Structure 1
Amino acid sequence: MDWTKEQILGLAPDHFTLRAGLGVATPQKWIALHHAQATCWGLFPISRQKTVETAVFLPNFAYTCSCNSRKAPCRHVLGLLLLWQQAPQKFTNLPLPAALTVWVKQEQHLRQPTTAANGRFPKSHPSPQKMNQLLAGLNELELWLLDMVRHGLASLPERPKTYWGTMANRLVDAQANDLAQTVRQLANIPSSQPDWPETLLQQIGRLYLIIQGFQRFAQLPPPVQADLQTAVGWLPQTTNKANIISDNWLVLGRQQEIVGKQTRHITWLWGQNSQMIAQLIDLPAVGTLEGSALATNSLWQGSLRLLPGSWPLGAVRHGRLQTSAAPVQPIGYQTIRAASQTHNEALAANPWLTQFPMLLHNTQPSQTETGWQLLDATGTSLPLPPKYAYGWHLAAIAGNRPSLSLFGVWNGRFYHPLSVNIQQTWQDIHIWRGVK
């Protein structure tokens, strides 16, 4: 295993899990540490009577744990990986327990090309029942938005949390989890900044455009239908072989989102031959703590199936990704203006696009009265998220000159850096201790 400690820590979904993972990365805290069939596994005590069973299948770094954490990977997976990376001699060879043997066999066959749409993702055409359920929820959302505008925005800062939460819960019932998340985020906009009404109206307009799109869904071309499905949180599938991209992939960054009862894992990959960025989406089954860890700066060879859309970004695995040693050199934007121009083209093709990847060269952070921003060599800027905690870290690396290469996501309002290139290595930013 040639992953670094920083790469493993970068898999942590948050700082609490990161610290907890470091806390259990001690052999003495485990009842057993073993390896067999390309798998490292262990038993960790959580009480005097109960233990959890944790395992990592090393060929593709798939993991499973019997704990009840909603965070994936959990502290036990992180601790086990750290121990395997730092002290593999502590793991004794022992046959896998029966349950783990079954899991390993399933993992070996789970990601074969014939099972790319392995039941975890909605089909290309949603069932009439599911569509009717969604339309009913969207009709209520439309009335809610019209009522909001009719009564004016001035009173919104005084609205209770239930005003937003009730509508969001209704959208969860309609299986529109991403729209529910958007409605909850709307609650944070009133009074957040001087121009908050303009920002809120932009979001209302986007929601209303989605509603109008689904009301005319049958008349729209397939790529636009796919854009709409993605906008509400569905992942449309395709059997078009032209959408299968085989390549050597470099992991540029990772994100994790809690959407309804599911945890959505997003891995941003750069393809050496295709010269494209793909948004690999993993949705572990509800109620299970399983997944496959692709660490930032790791290299993989294999195929992805692009999800349909007017500006395709999303992808799912087509067969298993294998670790690779082939060098991959990602190409980014030399100026923020060039990146913004491409984003405008993407938005013109898909007006519901909410996350656009940007690999930016020649940048540096700058602090203003309103917060941190990112500058390029021409002086063009992008605002960083409010209360951004890593501005001073990036400023120290940049050395007061536009020297940073950053990978991040632009949401139309803020640029969220995910990784920075230091000495030809992409490193996760979120594992740093933030400075307010």
Structure 2
Amino acid sequence: MNLSVEQVLGLAPDSNAASAGRKLGVASSWKGLARSERALWGECQGSALYRVCVDPDTMASKCTCPSRKFPCKHALGLMLLAAGSLGAFSTGTEPPAWVLEWVERRTASAERKKEKEAEPAKTPDPAEQAKRAERRRQRVVKGIEGLDLWMSDLIRQGLAQVEDRPAAFWEGQAARLVDAQAPGLASRVRRLGRYVGNHVSDWPVKLLGEMGRIALLTHAFRRIEELPAPLQADVRQLIGWSLSHEEILTSGEAVQDAWLLAGQSLFDEERFRVQRNWLVGTHTGRVALFLQFAAGTAPFAENMMPGTVFDAELVYRPSAFPQRALIRANPAKERAPRAWSERLPGFDRIESFRIWYAEALALLPWLERTFAGLRGVTPVRTAVGACIVRDAEGGALPLVRNDAWTLFALSGGESIDLAAEWNGEALTPIAVMHKGEYHVIPAPADDEEDA
């Protein structure tokens, strides 16, 4: 295990869990500390004696505590102790039954997954596929006709009249689009309702802008046969068609590289937690977005550690601006992460990033967010209280939050390499590289305290 304390802390679900994990990252909090090639383990006294084990290659963990966070503070504490004091773990000890059971269960699961991937795919009936596709197309067209009429009525009556509309007004139109098998458009209509009544002074501007993007999408769908193939794939995906993993792996562009996990963010989407992992090829410079989804409190399938590099082949989803990608299955030993201590890849001038982003928008007008790697920028608080980052030539971009004290503390008034998400209006910092050290910008903490 060659990860730093900061990189382990990058796995924390929030700053509360990170703080609690730090407190447990000392040998005095543990009993029976030991390690083997397959696992680290120990017992931690909390409200009960909790058994904790960790896979040192993937950082997958298991704890008997009832916490709904993953990884919990006990697993974080064990990983932090291993990162700082690996000598505290005895070697040559036979793993206890509960550790062996966990390791064997993970091995069996990996074998089943490998066997399933090796199974030949069933060949569908092309004629039946064509019939289903035409039936869906017709339903989507009817749904789009209804949506266009609904939006035209909103514009004709004036946007001021929607301010007092209940949530059911927006949800009703979204439900009609779901029935028309256009779930992507349904999500965009729900978003329209969130712009209204949120005490945002410029909500009419945001609402009108999003309605314009929806109208552009519906008009593009009507002329989809005239569009280039990559843009056709984007329009279909934005309307609500999805590609299976197998289809992406078959038709997408494959890129082999040593991929740096430059930044990571988490957010909730209805019943799911979504993890955005921003990867940058250390040789190709390509940026990739790897998404993970987990229901409820379930762990994500992959333990992705910010500030580490792993060798893998990524396959990009077909797109006019390829960004989202899948990681092609590789043996675990080839995926073992390595700590990154060099400068973050990115732009040395903010103006260069602006030009790059404008070109990306020209290719994909519905681009909602992308990765911004900015090198040598300094966080600054302006005279009116706004927080920005500025480069050596005076180019600047705003930050989403005006209480970015963690960013100011990490920079100490000096220039930093910043990893951030850019939504077209402002930056959300997710990581910093300063003087050869990688630091995660933690997500806002919640009020939950685990056991």
TM-score by length of 2: 0.76
Runs of at least 5 residues in structure 1 that lack an aligned partner in the other structure: 119-124
2:398 corresponding residue in structure 1? 383
Distance 1:38 1:133, change over 3 A: farther
Q: Give 1:15 deviation, angstroms.
A: 2.8
Q: Give 1:250 deviation, angstroms.
A: 1.7
Given candidates 423, 437, 441, the residue that maps to 1:429 is 441
Q: Give 1:350 deviation, angstroms.
A: 0.8
2:210 corresponding residue in structure 1? 203
Count the aligned residue pairs.
Answer: 423
Does residue 18 of the first structure (1) align with residue 18 of the second (2)? yes
1:316 corresponding residue in structure 2? 326
- Stretch deviating more after TM superposition (154-163 or 407-416): 154-163
Q: Give 1:284 deviation, angstroms.
A: 4.2
Give the secondary structure class of the aligned counterpart of 1:319.
Answer: coil
Runs of at least 5 residues in structure 2 that lack an aligned partner in the other structure: 122-128, 447-451
Q: Give 1:65 deviation, angstroms.
A: 6.1
1:62 corresponding residue in structure 2? 60
Map Cα deviations across residues 211-260 of structure 1 (whole Å, 9 max, x no partner).
34445556654422332355467763424477221111222110122223
1:360 corresponding residue in structure 2? 374
Given candidates 147, 153, 164, the residue that maps to 2:159 is 153
- Stretch deviating more after TM superposition (198-207 or 75-84): 75-84
Distance 1:182 1:277, change over 3 A: farther
Q: Give 1:398 deviation, angstroms.
A: 4.5
Given candidates 398, 408, 432, the residue that maps to 1:420 is 432
> Contact 2:379 / 2:387 at 8 angstroms: preserved in 1?
yes
- Stretch deviating more after TM superposition (323-332 or 107-116): 107-116
Does residue 250 of the first structure (1) align with residue 248 of the second (2)? no
Sequence identity of aligned pairs in percent? 26
Does residue 371 of the first structure (1) align with residue 371 of the second (2)? no
Distance 1:279 1:52, change over 3 A: farther
Letter in 2 for 1:9: L
- Stretch deviating more after TM superposition (309-318 or 108-117): 108-117
Greater CA radius of gyration, 1 or 2? Answer: 2
Given candidates 91, 94, 97, the residue that maps to 2:96 is 94
Letter in 2 for 1:228: V
Give the secondary structure class of the aligned counterpart of 1:331.
Answer: coil
Q: Give 1:34 deviation, angstroms.
A: 6.2
Q: 1:7-406 to 2 correspondence within 5 Å? A: 7-22=7-22, 35=35, 38-40=38-40, 55-63=53-61, 71-86=69-84, 89=88, 93-95=95-97, 96-98=99-101, 100-107=103-110, 110=113, 114=117, 128=133, 142=148, 144-164=150-170, 176=183, 180=187, 183-184=190-191, 186-188=193-195, 192-215=199-222, 220-231=227-238, 236=243, 237-240=247-250, 243-284=253-294, 288-320=298-330, 321-324=335-338, 330-368=344-382, 369=384, 371-385=386-400, 387-390=401-404, 392-398=405-411, 400=413, 403-406=415-418
1:121 corresponding residue in structure 2? none
CA distance in 2, matches of 1:131, 1:353: 24
Give the secondary structure class of the aligned counterpart of 1:357.
Answer: strand
> Contact 1:418 / 1:428 at 8 angstroms: preserved in 2?
yes
Q: Give 1:406 deviation, angstroms.
A: 0.9
- Stretch deviating more after TM superposition (240-249 or 299-308): 240-249
| The structure with more helix, counted as a fraction of residues | 2
Distance 1:256 1:399, change over 3 A: closer
- Stretch deviating more after TM superposition (296-305 or 210-219): 210-219
Distance 1:398 1:263, change over 3 A: closer
Q: Give 1:266 deviation, angstroms.
A: 1.6
Q: Give 1:60 deviation, angstroms.
A: 2.4
CA distance in 1, matches of 2:35, 2:236: 42
TM-score by length of 1: 0.78
Letter in 2 for 1:10: G
Q: Give 1:399 deviation, angstroms.
A: 5.3
> Contact 2:289 / 2:324 at 8 angstroms: preserved in 1?
yes
